Every structure is written in C-alpha cells, then in structure tokens.
C-alpha cells in the first residue's frame, strides 16, 4: 500500500546519485551557452579548467551562486517560521540540481504542472510530487498508477475540478486494471481565474463523486490565487484574501462532513507573489482543523528577478506574515538570473541592437533591464543613464538611450523579469561565483529538462 502524500517517507526526496551523474554528461554543440572549448569534455572536466565569464560568448543566461543559495535559505527559513510546508514549483527551473538544493533545505516535495514534467522528476527519483493540474490522460494515469505500484515510497497527488474529471479518472483507472487509489485534491477557482471549481456547491458535488469512486482518495483542497490578481494594490490583495478565505471555508466544510479519505488533509495555495496572504489566511488551519498540512507552492523565489517579482514578492515589498515575527527581519530575495548580450549594431544615435532576443530572454512579463556595460576598459553601471530595452525580436534586442555608453562590441548585463520563461530557453546554464565581480568565475553548470 502506497503511503499518502502527507505521510510518505522522508529523506533526500530525490536520487542524489542521479543528480550527481549530471556532472559526467559530455558537452558539445547541443548546449548553446557553451563555447567550443568545452566540447568533448564532461561538465566536471570543463569546470576543472577554471572557466570565467569572459570565456563565454553571447547571447548568454547565467545564474549567481550567492543569490541562489541566499534565496533557497531565505524561503526555507520563512516557511519554517510561518509554520507552513514548502513544495516549490519545479516548473520554474526544471533543473534537478536546483530541486535537490530546495529539498535539502527542507522542502516537503516538488510541485509540477504537467505529466512530462512529472516524468522528468521521476527519472531523478523525486519521491513526493504534487501535480498542480488535473490528470485525465488515460495513458498518463496508467503510468502514474504503475509508478505508485512499483515504488511504495512514491507519493503523488493531483487535482480535480469537476464531476466529469472525477468520472474520467475513475474510468481510465478501471480500464487500466488499477486497484489502488490515486490521491486527489479539489481545486477551487475564482471568477475570471483559471481552472478550478467555481463555488462551494460545485466543490461539494465533486467531493461526493470522489467518495463514490473506489479508485480515488480525496485528501485535501488546493488552488492558485495568483490567477486572480497581478499587482499589490488594495483591490488585488483584497480579492486574493477573499479567495483564500473561501478555500479555507471549503476545507473546513469537507472536514466537518467527513468527506476526506485516508491520510491527513492538505490545503495548498501560494505562488511567489502572495505567499504572505496565503500564510495569514491558511496557516491557522493547521491548529483549527487538527492534522491539516498547509503547503505553499512558490517556485519563482529560487531565482527571483529584476522585474515583476522584484515589485510584488512579499519579501520585496516588506510584507510579513501572522506569527512570523517582525517583518523587517525577513531578508529580501536577490535576483539570481542575468542575461548577457553584445552590441552588434549602432545604426542611430540613440539606438543599438543587441544579439539577444526572444529566443534567449523572457519578454512575457516585462522586458530585460540594462544594468551595466563591459568593455575592454572595464565595467560601467548604466543606472540613471536612461538606457532601456524597448522591444525584442527573435534574435535582437532594441537598446535605446545608451548612446556612447554602449559602443559596438560592448557586452551588457541585463536583469530579467519572470524567471519561469527564462530557464526554458537554455539547456545548460552557467553559474557564476559573483555576477558583480570584475571577472566572474563559472563554478557550475545547471542542466535543465524542458
């Protein structure tokens, strides 16, 4: 019998040997970040040569080792003080080495968004997975059931948001000859939001449908408040808080009606924008409804950014959480991602073209931010210069206002916005010892699997 998502075995949470084996991967032309000098060597061998940022070409995306470590520790400490578990969203990075760091810092498991991502996690032995989505694919359900049957330490839970989704899951599992139960959460949505049952009445009907199934086990409720707001205005924060109270109310009603199956119930919410409100509204459930486990699913915090999350993250905007203590004691998160691009054309006095575009850098939630320029004479900050990126094409960025600060051939460091659409553009990402150093050293290479 497989253990529930709540009570599955503790330990590393990931196959550390498989993660370590990534250092033995041969390097070649498949990895656009890497220079030809790396080809034919393994990751381990190439790092032993002592590469620096200057050895790499452009365009390039890098991570900062100090910022990564700081962010992982900061969020882990914040959640521990708040009394909530953290199951970070692995879709942000799809990097098993970073998942391992998060798990080692105390994360409860890894959240993922679709079945291909779950398969990556299982390939690296992740033993506690929260799929923040419905799983209706019959072949996928059969595979998950086989994984659960083959590995008693594997804990898995996914969402349902309609009676139809419950029926389809039950039919697929029956057709596959599955005898054991798959654990599910009822996803609660909100008006104008994304997926999720609209309203308590629909959610309760789903609960009774799960109860009637012999192949599913209802273990909690979940949702995503970030779909209901996109800023930190009073109106936005109010809508998020209202939704979270509805989620808490649904959990209390399900518990009072004894509609949960085996295992201790889960309540989960929390992206990287409003986890303070999630904690304030949901953390008390752990004591009000004994046995309840409150789980945050924040993911973008690990890299943070110089755009959207810089302005809206609870730690960046100085927001505390009930019971966590003085909000000023929370260390702010640091941007760990940087783009690097070269000026390849200066056709007009206030226009330069860089060799990085949409194929290299995120653009869906804010354009890259010019931060400094590197020339043979040294590095110079662009703060206050008026330099900005006005648009991105597939392979070019339009840099305006830099003037003589960015001559042809100069390399710019760019801050990026929205890390979730940065990692997916790179299969191997160099990690710098210090992105602010005059000559940053490359101390690691992070492999992603999108």
Q: Any idea which fold 65-329 has? A: TIM Barrel (3.20.20)
Q: Considering just the CA atoms, what is the radius of gyration of the chain in Å?
A: 23
Cβ atoms < 10 Å from Cβ of 397: 28
Sign of the torsion formed by the C-alpha atoms of 32, 37, 40 and 46: negative
Compute the distance between CA of residue 14 and CA of residue 112 in angstroms, rounded to an integer.
14
Q: Are 449 and 441 in contact (CB under 8 A)?
A: no
pLDDT at 11 over 80: no
Q: To the nearest whole number, what is the mean pLDDT of the chain?
A: 93
C-alpha distance from residue 324 to each of 83, 329, 373 (Å): 8, 10, 40
Query: What DSSP designation does 356 have?
Result: -
Q: What is the pLDDT of residues 193-244, one digit of tens each?
A: 999 999 999 999 999 999 999 999 999 999 999 999 999 999 999 999 999 9
Confidence bin at 290 (pLDDT 50/70/90) = confident
pLDDT at 65 over 80: yes
**In DSSP terms, which residues pair with 110 in a beta bridge?**
129
Overall residue count recorded for the chain in this entry: 450
Note the pLDDT of residue 329.
46
pLDDT at 7 over 90: no
Mean pLDDT calculated for residue range 381-407: 93
Q: What is the pLDDT of residues 295-317, one digit of tens each?
A: 999 999 999 999 999 999 998 77
Note the pLDDT of residue 288.
86
- Compute the CA torsion angle 294, 300, 304, 310 (nearest 10 deg): -80
Q: What is the pLDDT of residues 30-53, one digit of tens each?
A: 999 999 999 999 999 999 999 999
Confidence bin at 160 (pLDDT 50/70/90) = very high
Note the pLDDT of residue 402.
87
Give the DSSP per-residue string, 300-345.
Answer: GGGT--SSHHHHHSTTTTT---TTS--GGGSPPP---EEEEEEEEE
Note the pLDDT of residue 404.
80
Q: Are 321 and 86 in contact (CB under 8 A)?
A: no
Note the pLDDT of residue 1.
29
Give the DSSP per-residue string, 413-433.
Answer: EEE-S-GGGTGGG-SEEEEES
pLDDT at 4 over 50: no
Question: Which run of H or E residues covers position 142?
Answer: helix 138-150
Note the pLDDT of residue 319.
59
Domain boundaries, given as residue ranges, for the chain: 31-63+335-447, 65-329
Of 76, 72, 34, nearest in space to 55 by CA: 34
What CATH class does 31-63+335-447 carry? mainly beta
Compute the distance between CA of residue 67 and CA of residue 63 in angstroms, rounded to an integer.
8
pLDDT at 338 over 90: yes
Confidence bin at 78 (pLDDT 50/70/90) = very high
Confidence bin at 263 (pLDDT 50/70/90) = confident
pLDDT at 340 over 60: yes
Compute the distance between CA of residue 98 and CA of residue 69 in angstroms, rounded to an integer.
10
């Amino acid at each position: 019998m497989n253990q529930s998502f709540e009570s599955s075995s503790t330990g590393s949470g990931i196959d550390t040997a498989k993660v370590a084996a990534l250092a033995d991967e041969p390097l070649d032309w498949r990895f656009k970040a890497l220079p030809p000098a790396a080809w034919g060597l393994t990751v381990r061998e190439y790092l032993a040569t002592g590469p620096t940022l200057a050895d790499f070409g452009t365009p390039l995306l890098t991570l900062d080792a100090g910022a990564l470590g700081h962010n992982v520790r900061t969020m882990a400490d914040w959640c521990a003080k708040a009394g909530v578990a953290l199951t970070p969203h692995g879709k942000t990075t799809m990097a098993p080495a970073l998942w391992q760091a998060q798990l080692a810092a105390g994360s409860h498991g890894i959240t993922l968004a679709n079945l291909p991502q779950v398969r990556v996690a299982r390939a690296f032995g992740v033993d506690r997975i929260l799929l923040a989505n419905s799983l209706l694919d019959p072949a996928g359900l059969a595979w998950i059931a086989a994984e659960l049957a083959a590995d008693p330490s594997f804990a898995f839970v996914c969402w349902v948001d309609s009676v139809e989704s419950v029926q389809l899951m039950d039919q697929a599992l029956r057709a596959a000859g599955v005898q054991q139960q798959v654990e599910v959460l009822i996803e609660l949505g909100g008006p104008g939001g994304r997926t999720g049952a609209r309203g308590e009445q629909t959610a309760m009907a789903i609960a009774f449908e799960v109860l009637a199934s012999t192949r599913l086990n209802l273990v909690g409720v979940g949702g995503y408040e970030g779909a209901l707001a996109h800023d930190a205005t009073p109106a936005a924060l109010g809508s998020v808080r209202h939704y979270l109270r509805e989620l808490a109310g649904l959990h209390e009603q399900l518990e009072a009606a004894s509609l949960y199956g085996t295992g201790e119930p889960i309540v989960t919410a929390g992206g990287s924008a409003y986890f303070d409100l999630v904690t304030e509204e949901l953390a008390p459930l752990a004591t009000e409804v004994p046995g309840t486990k409150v789980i945050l699913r924040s993911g973008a915090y690990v890299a943070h950014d110089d755009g959207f999350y810089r302005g809206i993250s609870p730690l960046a905007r100085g927001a505390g959480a009930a019971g966590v203590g003085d909000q000023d004691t929370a260390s702010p998160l640091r941007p760990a991602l940087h783009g690097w691009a070269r000026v390849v054309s200066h056709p007009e006095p206030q226009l330069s073209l860089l060799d990085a575009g949409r194929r290299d850098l995120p653009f869906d939630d804010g354009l890259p931010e010019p931060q400094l320029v590197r020339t043979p004479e040294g590095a110079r900050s662009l703060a206050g210069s008026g330099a900005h990126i006005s648009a991105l094409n597939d392979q070019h960025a339009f840099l305006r206002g830099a003037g003589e600060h960015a001559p042809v051939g100069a390399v710019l460091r760019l801050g990026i916005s929205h890390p979730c659409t940065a990692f997916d553009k790179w299969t191997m990402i160099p990690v710098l010892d210090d992105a602010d150093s005059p000559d940053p050293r490359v101390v690691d290479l992070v492999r992603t699997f999108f």
